Structure 1
Amino acid sequence: MRLIGNYAESIPWRYPGASNLTSRRRHSKGDTRVLLLAASVLVAFIANAAGLLAGVTIVLPHLFYLPIILAAYWYPRRGTIFSLALSLGYLALTLPFTGSDVGTTVSVISRAVVFAAVGAAVSLLSLRLREQEERYRGIFDNSEAGTFIVAPGESGPRIEETNYVGAALLGFTTKNLAGKHVAGIFEDPAAWEALKEDVDRNGTVYEYETTLLRIDGAAVQVLVSAGRLPGERVVLTLVDITARKNAEDALRQTNAKLNMLGHLTRNDLAAAVSALLERIGGGMQEFDDPDVRRYLKNLEEDARMVQRRAEITRDYQDLGLRPAGWQPVQKVVRDVTSCLLLPGISVRSWVERLEVFADPMLDRVFSNLIENAARHGETASKVVITYRILDDGLSISIEDDGVGIAEPEKERIFDYGVGIEGGLGLFLVREILAITNMTIRETGTPGRGARFEIHVPPGGYRIV
């Protein structure tokens, strides 16, 4: 007995005594085969004996092919021995009638050899076919994915066969689900039609996300893969992603709440800092003492640092809130540069046809890196963006011709709180990229320019 969700019921072909019933059926089937095989052997020997007495020796021996093929197909491990025994029986029956005719004797012996060879060949082929069938059956029955075979029917495509996981996924048994209209298990029957059209057009479909209905009416979200089979059949494999989707929804709602909390906190902080700056400004006008004014000036710088950090974090309030997706890098760079003021700086991008799987805030990555070149490169006059494919992924380079970054600072510039204006820009650049397992490092030569290299893992990029 297997438990699925809140269901704890026995599957009919697993209830106590089911194995005995299956065993009885197998024995009954085996007894029928033995009777048919014995009858075909008896008919073949009787017919050949009668033919030999009547002088017929050419056509009737072909009757032995029937029991040979049946035995080799039904019992492939014993088929060769059976055909050899049958050949010897044929020789024992026929040789006494050949007399001294050498030609007839050779013909009879040759025919017996052919009988044995046919039995051996059919046994070998049947054994391989049986092994493949058992392999398929093992995969079908024991797969962790629900599997359905859909066959055409008079009133539409029907579920011809399913495995235990597929039936349990919908709250059915394998026996009760067989024969049902396949569109009936979809929450939206049009989803089946759309899936079938994709299969007819492309031959296969992978990771088609849809919703099925259990027998109790509950919705099950699944990923479906499908492919064509002979006889206009379709095989469907289903993976239950309901728990994953629920977790994603819960995480999305939690992120939204945290985002709202951050938004409210930032507004309160900004209001408090603004009020503090007003009071410091009032103090600067009220007091003439140099020590007091110096103290107030230091307070003002600290307050403005807090203000700048609050403004920077506002730009990143949606970090990780929206799902990652494929983004065309050339378009992202073009959109970023069209919104930036870059006096005396030209941006050349050579990343056509490149797409990366990244957080929707990928534009902030390029915005920060290009702005850094313009603001801190001092002598920078151009920014060049290129890419190259590596053995372990892909590298995107953002390079300028400015003063570069000193060796001791190459890694520290990505730390929180280091650098100009609190260092949040490059810190968050690394965090945005890390969402989809991308990394960034600075590899430029001091005095000749900065070069930031973004490493994209395999599967995280594509050339379209």
Structure 2
Amino acid sequence: MNIPYLSVISHPTQKNRILLLSTVTACTLAVNLFGILAGLTAVLSHLLYFPIILASYWYPRRGLSFSLLVAALFALQVILFAPLDLVLGLATITRCAILVLVGCVVSLLSWNLAQSEKQLQDIIEFLPDATFAIDKEGKIIAWNRALELMTGQPKASMLNRGNHEYALAFYGDRRPMLAGLIIGDGSDIPKKYPQVRNESGTLVSEIFLPHMQGDRGMHLRFSASPLLDANGNVAGAIESIRDITDRVMTASALEKTSHRLNTLAGILRHDISRKLAVLYGQLRFGVMKFSNPEVIAYIGELKVAADGITRQIDISREFRDIGGTPPSWIAVQNAIAAAEDRLEFRNVTFHAWTDRLCVFSDPHLPTVFYHILHNSLQESTRATKIVITYQLRSDGCAIIIEDNGTGIPEHEKDALFVQREDSYGRGLFLAAEIVSLTGMTLRETGEYRKGARFEILVPSEGYRIENSATRIAVPHQRHTSPIMEEKGGPVGRELHADEFPLADEVWKEYHDTSGDPAVDRIFGVYQSGELVSVARCRRHPDGLEVDGVFTPAKFRKNGYSRIAVGSLVEACHNDDLFMYAVRHLEGFYHQYGFEPISEILLPQKIRERYTWAAGNLEGAEVLPMRRKAGL
């Protein structure tokens, strides 16, 4: 089969070509002579195109000379055997010129095609990976130099062979390799060849062949892709084979070394933990036995040192495990809750507003939040409040953990994510290592004396927002209760996508407003399991708008709207917030940082939503307001 985009093509022998070309030329000249004798000087001369096209295609360098020869023979026939006149002479000259022109054009096209094919041939020939190609009938049409070295089979002995000849060099018998599977039906590949993977249209498989390389064996990676014709149909396949023996052996050696080191480290951790248990017992006994303040203070210092050793053991155990389990989509709120379960917040207020957010992360994501929160909870930070939120940005998503403590001095930030002896920063190096496994980064952007602010920067492809409208599948999330007035009292939290219909029911008395999970974040207040108040933050291309603050009449006078708006502001405080407020509620929203502004300062999309106000804000009794970003 002739595949023009591959260089190695099966051609007739030179002898057969010359014989065929000579026969066609002689026949067409003879037929043309017969036509001239019969008075047909125009029609049969078209047959002369055939030998010219064949000669110019097969021998592009000689196409011009051959077309000149044929044109000259045609002119000679006309001169010798046709009655000459002016019209016939001009027609003959024109016909000869066309014959020469056709020969030139075909020669040029054939030459360019040959050069293109040679370039493709060189590309395949000098690929570092062993590569071969087959046509649709399974015949070998390419066999490069690297494959000759790998198999010991020269190209000349392999070209044009079919019946799975290519497999003999690898398996010792005839069988379809990946390229053969591509030109076949392919429907039974998953069933018969479960070890074969389909990676974006390329079949990939890795296998160990014990008889290769002088029976020492080789680990090989096979990958094959289809070759398509101009109509997009499979016209063949190309397959590359890469020797991955060194890589596999290195990975195996590293795995064994890692296992031995982990075993040794586990033994050391176990022995040290046993010694620490004895030490803790002696320290407790010392506290009970001695009453001297100096001795008690000394024992306290020993306990602090022992606690530090215990924490280092825990960190080393966690560091051993990271990267050992494949990453997956993790609900951020669940990861935070898992970290929260390991910590004591005492008098520190803690709110997490990451409902509906999932990230593609190592399973040890809870450890990241644990170490960040652990540092914020140190007494030296003097933090009384910790808030976790997220912010969508043009380059991805930022998960933000901030407190109102003393913050971190600028000169300490560069060394913050490395292992240190002092208390602040311990374990953050581990957190940075974990998030980096899936392309995330960890940085600190807070201001000294105003509080610490850690940002986990997630790339665009690494996060998802729970959205029933687009059927994004996310892991089940725990419904947390970030803001609770008291036990059994109203609870404020963000609604999940499947709870949006509940908000729509509440809004039936409020202009029939409805929520859209694709652009809205809705914050609600629950009392005894019933949704009693809502507030919405809608994302526009040019800003965030607050609206839909509503409490049904039967639930008013209980402060529910304050909880809903407070939840929204705290969760969305990383961006400027805009709204149109009813004028008599200006004081209410002022408590949450909203200030009146000129309508011209509103983002355009938000202004357009309120065309019902007819551009007369005073008459409509609504007031444009803005809350600048920040807690």
- Tell me which interval the TM-score lies in, with the shorter structure as reference length: 0.7 to 0.9
Q: Corresponding residue for 1:7? A: none
Deviation at 1:263, TM superposition (A): 0.8
2:354 to 343, 349, 357: 349
Residues 80-99 of structure 1 correspond to what in structure 2 (within 5 A)? 80-99=64-83
**Matched-pair contact (CA < 8 Å) for 1:159–1:179:** yes
Q: Corresponding residue for 1:4? A: none
Confirm whether residue 116 of structure 1 aligns to residue 100 of structure 2: yes
Change (3 A) 1:399 1:381: closer
Q: Corresponding residue for 1:61? A: 45
Deviation at 1:109, TM superposition (A): 2.0
1:264 to 258, 262, 267: 267
Confirm whether residue 362 of structure 1 aligns to residue 365 of structure 2: yes
The CA distance in 2 between the partners of 1:214 and 1:112, in whole Å, is: 66
Change (3 A) 1:159 1:125: closer
Higher RCO (CA-CA < 8 Å; seq separation 6+): 1
Confirm whether residue 206 of structure 1 aligns to residue 202 of structure 2: yes
**Matched-pair contact (CA < 8 Å) for 2:390–2:397:** no
Change (3 A) 1:180 1:275: farther
Confirm whether residue 414 of structure 1 aligns to residue 417 of structure 2: yes
**Matched-pair contact (CA < 8 Å) for 2:397–2:463:** no
Q: Corresponding residue for 1:179? A: 162
Deviation at 1:127, TM superposition (A): 1.5
Change (3 A) 1:318 1:204: closer
Q: Corresponding residue for 2:337? A: 337
Change (3 A) 1:315 1:353: closer
Q: Corresponding residue for 2:456? A: 454
Change (3 A) 1:296 1:337: closer
Q: Corresponding residue for 2:434? A: 432
Deviation at 1:165, TM superposition (A): 2.6
Q: Corresponding residue for 2:314? A: 311
Letter of the 1:414 counterpart: F
The CA distance in 2 between the partners of 1:190 and 1:339, in whole Å, is: 53
Letter of the 1:208 counterpart: V
Change (3 A) 1:215 1:313: closer
**TM superposition score normalised by structure 2:** 0.57
Change (3 A) 1:282 1:406: closer
The CA distance in 1 between the partners of 2:81 and 2:177, in whole Å, is: 72
2:86 to 94, 97, 102: 102
The CA distance in 1 between the partners of 2:222 and 2:426, in whole Å, is: 39
The number of residues matched between the two structures is 425
Q: Corresponding residue for 1:17? A: none
Deviation at 1:345, TM superposition (A): 1.9
Q: Corresponding residue for 1:5? A: none
**TM superposition score normalised by structure 1:** 0.75
Confirm whether residue 250 of structure 1 aligns to residue 253 of structure 2: yes
The CA distance in 1 between the partners of 2:254 and 2:350, in whole Å, is: 41
Q: Corresponding residue for 1:229? A: 228
Q: Corresponding residue for 2:468? A: none
**Matched-pair contact (CA < 8 Å) for 1:171–1:214:** no
**Matched-pair contact (CA < 8 Å) for 2:134–2:238:** yes
**Matched-pair contact (CA < 8 Å) for 1:368–1:429:** yes
Q: Corresponding residue for 1:405? A: 407
Change (3 A) 1:209 1:396: farther
Q: Corresponding residue for 1:130? A: 114
Letter of the 1:427 counterpart: F
The CA distance in 1 between the partners of 2:377 and 2:390, in whole Å, is: 14
For each residue in 1:265-309, what CA deviation from the matched residue of structure 2 results, as whole angstroms up to 9, or x when unmatched?
Answer: 111112223333434445555566655555444334323322332
**Matched-pair contact (CA < 8 Å) for 2:226–2:238:** yes
**Matched-pair contact (CA < 8 Å) for 1:146–1:238:** yes
The 3-state SS of whatever aligns with 2:132 is: strand
Residues 377-388 of structure 1 correspond to what in structure 2 (within 5 A)? 378-388=383-393
The CA distance in 2 between the partners of 1:127 and 1:406, in whole Å, is: 71
The CA distance in 1 between the partners of 2:79 and 2:199, in whole Å, is: 58
Letter of the 2:443 counterpart: R
Deviation at 1:39, TM superposition (A): 4.7
The CA distance in 1 between the partners of 2:143 and 2:250, in whole Å, is: 28
Deviation at 1:126, TM superposition (A): 1.1
Q: Which moved more, 1:271-280 or 1:373-382?
A: 373-382
Deviation at 1:429, TM superposition (A): 1.4
Confirm whether residue 164 of structure 1 aligns to residue 145 of structure 2: yes
For each residue in 1:220-246, what CA deviation from the matched residue of structure 2 results, as whole angstroms up to 9, or x when unmatched?
Answer: 331514224346533223333332222
Q: Corresponding residue for 1:19? A: none
The 3-state SS of whatever aligns with 1:262 is: helix
Deviation at 1:259, TM superposition (A): 1.1
Residues 2-17 of structure 1 correspond to what in structure 2 (within 5 A)? none
Deviation at 1:210, TM superposition (A): 2.6
The CA distance in 2 between the partners of 1:202 and 1:300, in whole Å, is: 57
For each residue in 1:400-432, what CA deviation from the matched residue of structure 2 results, as whole angstroms up to 9, or x when unmatched?
Answer: 352362333433432322543x74321211233
The CA distance in 1 between the partners of 2:103 and 2:437, in whole Å, is: 63
The percentage of counterpart residues that share the same residue type is 28
Q: Corresponding residue for 1:8? A: none
Letter of the 1:252 counterpart: E
Which has the larger share of helix? 1
The CA distance in 2 between the partners of 1:64 and 1:36, in whole Å, is: 14
The 3-state SS of whatever aligns with 1:368 is: helix
**Matched-pair contact (CA < 8 Å) for 2:402–2:454:** no
The CA distance in 2 between the partners of 1:311 and 1:202, in whole Å, is: 41
Q: Corresponding residue for 1:445? A: 447
For each residue in 1:62-110, what CA deviation from the matched residue of structure 2 results, as whole angstroms up to 9, or x when unmatched?
Answer: 3422321122111213313431343234223324555453332232222
Gaps of 5+ in 2: 1-10, 191-196, 465-471, 473-631
Letter of the 1:133 counterpart: E
**Matched-pair contact (CA < 8 Å) for 1:226–1:237:** no
Deviation at 1:115, TM superposition (A): 0.8
Letter of the 1:103 counterpart: V
Deviation at 1:58, TM superposition (A): 3.6
Letter of the 2:404 counterpart: G
The 3-state SS of whatever aligns with 2:131 is: strand
CA RMSD in angstroms, aligned pairs only: 4.1
Deviation at 1:370, TM superposition (A): 4.3
Change (3 A) 1:36 1:215: farther
**Matched-pair contact (CA < 8 Å) for 1:204–1:225:** no
Letter of the 1:111 counterpart: R
**Matched-pair contact (CA < 8 Å) for 1:169–1:214:** no
Letter of the 2:130 counterpart: G
Q: Corresponding residue for 2:573? A: none
Letter of the 2:305 counterpart: D
Change (3 A) 1:150 1:51: closer
